[in-house]
Chain A
Amino acid sequence: MKRVVLIVLLMIPLALSAAEFSWDGMFRTRTGDYTEYHWYNVGAENPDTQTLSDYRMRLFTHIGFSDSLSAVWGIEVDGTWGDVDQNRDEINVKTKHLYMDFTPDFADMLSIRIGLQPYKDPFGSAIFDEDAVGLFLLPKFESFNLKAGWLQFHNQDISEDRDDNLFVLEGSKDFESFTLGAAFLYDMGYMDPNILPRAMHEMIMFFPFEFDNMWIGFFGKYHTDNLEAGGHFVYNSSKYAENFMITAEDTTGFFAYLYGKYNLSEKMNVKLHFGYTPGMDYASDDYTYFTAIKPQANLYGLEYFFYGPVFDKATMLNTYGDFFGQTVLALNINYSFLYLNAGMIKGNFDNYMTDEKEFGKEIDLGFNYPVTDGLTLSGVYALFMPGQFMEDFYGYKETAHEMAFKLEYKF
């Protein structure tokens, strides 16, 4: 009993603070030497290469006010070595997250998140994986998971007559070894023709004046002790009132993805991926391709062609679709701290400037090594061998490379 009293007394200083603060985040430093990743440079006989290092810190402050109310403020500090004036005194503290989670007293089965928050779709970040301001409702059901949200990318009343809103509805059900879910995303927007230069921004790959984009799909995962398998299918439809690039045709597309992973031993596992998105037929009025808002394409683990897990600055393509479409077959083999990735990527377009569709093949040799508790050193050497499409289109077929290292601590 006396010990209990002692413990209670020791907790007094904590209890005096009404708001509880906790922190998490990461710190990393990376360096990379790589063939400059623009397609007209990849495969050239004397390509441009780049060598650079960067650093990043993310610090998330969690403020717990009560069981029903908390807030998160996340900051990010980025810098590239040797960028400006010794990198000293840079004003580079960015707000990454700033949101509040609360449960109203009169609706205790409903959690609400409001503010600048992260969202990523359940289709391998094929559509959206970023931070944005908005509101998410997370009702608590015993039998299944549900979330509904609204994210506001642009408000025409304050953002140069540009409007863009994403609405999200996601549901999933967990069984013992099986998870099944579905999601619906609806993105509607408008853009004043007077600010068309901004339409080429990477955020929207294909930006007409008025658009309604819709994605609907399902995903599933099955796992046993040594085996995991899953995938998704997502269909998209886009309707345009006007269009500045091609005629204002409505478009459709889809992204189908399957994977299987097997643990051969405690140290070794193998994962196989297959992904497919259709491409356009340039000789017809068939506008079939998969479109996205702000994807983070790294389902396949390939370092150079896609958004690399070690060094994402060297990325040939950060999307699973676009006008050309893709067929990707990829393999990841992990042995203890070593890994090997291999992949083959081809397009699915028709009647373009060449009949050849093979973008190329990639092989990555890498490692993830724990330097000390929590601190991981990752390294990769990636080779990308351009395919016949690259040779026919750009006239080059030399192997491109990326060698990169990353030192990262997460807390």
Chain B
Amino acid sequence: MKKALIVIMLLIIPVMVFAVDLSYSGMFRTRGSQLTDPYLDNLIYGGEDVISWSDYQLQLFTTAAINDNLSMVWGIEVNGIWGDEDQNRDEITVMTKHLYMDFTPDMLDWMHIRLGLQPYHDIFASSIFDEDAVGISLVPEWDAADVSFGYYVFHDEELTSESNRFWTLDIAKNMDALTLKAAALMNKFYIPGGGHNYSRLYIGAAADYTMDKMSFGGHFVYSTTSFEEDDFNPDMSGYFAYLYGKMDVTEKLNVKLNFGYTPGAADMDSVTMFEGIAPYFNPYGLEYLFVGPVVDFPVGQGAILNTAGSYMGFPNGLMVLAANINYGMFYMNAGLVNAVIDMEGAPDFDKNIGTELDFGMKTQLTDGLDFCAVYALFMPGSFMEDEFMWGMGADPKTAHELSMKLQYNF
């Protein structure tokens, strides 16, 4: 009996010593890339700007669990690009990524509250918002469904002379193989005298159905934007429809097909387009055209598309058909991207933005250390050489990206 007590005491001592239980998670990565600089002028007028670069990133999340009802998370991020400024040494690059508190009030033990700088991403393939922001989210315990409410402050007019706030409502219900989700998101932007003040609502639903060897699903989200009457902006609305189907052909081989559509149209009275707030968008897996899974934001002008809809300075949508084929450690992506544009009075023109092919691999160099590499080719379509759009000098050529990433998640 005494020995048992000793064992129990000795086991408990480490727990008793720390009133706050600290745990850590995060990731470390190094990436390198050579690619045709993906800004529009470069792609349309010859693609001669090719950039080579490497970078590194550390994310370290410290979770302080104080008791069952209270914990805190502080997440930091350190970023650097090789060869940027004085040898990268002694750069002041430590950023706070997350700093929030999770708690459950004693008098309201069915309500979980998260307060502070926290992440949020929408259920529509991150096409609207996938970022960190300060705010409060409420997650009540409810047997019928998972529900969460959020309120985030991007800008406070008393501090930055503009107001930008974001409200969220997410509902999800799991029913064995079927998951149903719905969300309503509201963004309100205001600058005194800014001429572009609006309230925007997103409302939509998503579903995923999973079987042994097959899964499919999709979403539909509608957005409507109301501008202040005094600003004389036309009404704006749009939607994003997305469908996918995935099949495991063998243990090693699986195939996924994606289809996405956003409209684009404009006349004197209204604009039809889909626009996100801070998207992180790549349901299609395409490396070069969208936010790539190996290299998401290259140096230079950034990924050519980080949106489901508008990107060219006038209302347009996108229609994307993409296939992802995985075999063991290798994969191949293929995608066809068309612009959706219906401009009042404009002549008819070709709308094929281009075709992309990616050849990639993912493997582990040692336990937990992932190595990814991809070679992507983007072949611009007839839209990119259209004289009406780009003038006489348009001469698009095949663009490329060769990227590698070494990453450890812990």
Interface residues of A (CB under 8 A from B): 2, 6, 9-10, 12-13, 17-19, 21, 63, 65-66, 68-69, 71, 73, 75-76, 91-96, 98, 100, 102-106, 114-116, 130-134, 151-155, 157-159, 163-164, 201, 203, 294
Contacts and interface: CB of A to CB of B under 8 A. Distances in A.
A363 to B, nearest CB: 33
12 contacts: A9-B10, A65-B369, A71-B408, A98-B78, A106-B365, A115-B56, A116-B88, A116-B89, A131-B88, A132-B89, A155-B81, A158-B51
A105 B80 contact: no
Point out which of B78, B89, B90 has the most chain A C-beta atoms below 10 A from its C-beta: B89
Given A155-B83, A164-B83, A95 B52 contact: no
B90 A96 contact: yes
Contacts of B94: 75, 93-95
Given A9-B7, A131-B89, A152-B83, A69 B51 contact: no
B90 A19 contact: no
B24 A21 contact: yes
Contact of B91 (A63, A71, A94, A158): A94
A94 B51 CA distance: 28
Contact of B24 (A19, A66, A76, A94): A19
Contacts of B368: 65-66, 69
Interface of B: 3, 6-7, 10-11, 14-15, 23-24, 28, 30, 51-54, 56, 58, 60, 78, 80-94, 299-300, 364-369, 406, 408, 410
Contacts of B11: 9-10, 12
Nearest to A294: B87
A92 B312 CA distance: 40
B88 A92 contact: no
A18 B410 contact: yes
Contacts of A116: 56, 80, 88-89
A133 B83 contact: yes
Nearest to B81: A158
A155 B406 contact: no
A115 B58 CA distance: 11
Contact of B369 (A69, A94, A132): A69
Contacts of B365: 102, 104-106
B404 to A, nearest CB: 11
B110 to A, nearest CB: 30
Q: Which 6 A-B pairs have the closest CB atoms?
A: A155-B83, A68-B366, A157-B51, A131-B89, A133-B82, A132-B87
Nearest to B91: A95
Contact of A158 (B6, B10, B53, B367): B53
Nearest to B27: A71
Given A93-B94, A95-B93, A95-B94, A159 B408 contact: no
A69 B366 CA distance: 7
A94 B58 contact: no
A154 B52 CA distance: 12
B362 to A, nearest CB: 15
Contacts of B51: 157-158
Contact of B30 (A65, A115, A132): A115
Contacts, number: 144
A100 B60 contact: no
Given A157-B300, A163-B83, 12 more contacts: A10-B14, A71-B58, A75-B94, A95-B93, A96-B90, A131-B90, A133-B80, A133-B83, A134-B82, A152-B82, A155-B81, A155-B82
B30 A114 contact: yes
Given A10-B11, A158-B299, A159-B83, A96 B89 contact: yes
Nearest to A154: B83
Nearest to A16: B23
Contact of A91 (B92, B300, B369, B406): B92
B2 to A, nearest CB: 12
A98 B87 contact: no
Nearest to B8: A9
A237 to B, nearest CB: 23
A294 B92 CA distance: 20
Contacts of A65: 367-369, 408, 410
Contacts of B86: 153, 201, 203
B20 to A, nearest CB: 15
A94 B6 CA distance: 46
A102 B28 CA distance: 12
A133 B56 contact: yes
Contact of B84 (A76, A95, A96, A159): A159
Contacts of B53: 155, 157-158
A73 B369 CA distance: 17
Contact of B87 (A153, A158, A163): A153
B15 A13 contact: yes
Given A19-B410, A103-B366, A155 B84 contact: yes
Contacts of B91: 94-95
A74 to B, nearest CB: 10
A10 B10 contact: yes
Point out which of B28, B300, B406 has the most chain A C-beta atoms below 10 A from its C-beta: B28
A201 B85 CA distance: 12
B88 to A, nearest CB: 5
A63 B369 CA distance: 13
B406 A114 contact: yes
Contact of B60 (A73, A132, A151): A73
Contacts of A12: 11
A359 B138 CA distance: 72
Nearest to A5: B7
